[in-house]
Amino acid sequence: MKLNVKRTLLVGISFMTISAFWQLYDFAIPLMLYQEFHMPNTFSGIAMSLDNLLALVMLPFSVHFLIERQQKLENVCLLLL
């Protein structure tokens, strides 16, 4: 099995970009909550924790929905051919 360098670089750059934006989000949102809304650090930490919990709950449902949607589109394409 040969390594596909182009695909490997594309996936690596994608993960790097997502990680960079994630770090920026985790840094900027508590700072914005503190400066703009005068929210204490404790409450901004709670808000960020709830945000992470919501993401953990929503992620499996989103993936399930997207997989079902893709399968329906594939079935429609097969019917049209």
32 or 79: which leads in pLDDT: 32
Q: What is the pTM of this model?
A: 0.63
With bands split at pLDDT 50, 70 and 90, how would you rate the model's confidence at 21? very high
Residues 46-77: pLDDT tens digits? 999 998 899 889 988 888 888 888 887 777 77
Q: How many CB atoms lie within 10 A of CB 51?
A: 13
pLDDT above 90: residue 43: yes
Q: How many CB atoms lie within 10 A of CB 19?
A: 10
C-alpha count within 13 angstroms, C-beta hemisphere, residue 67: 6
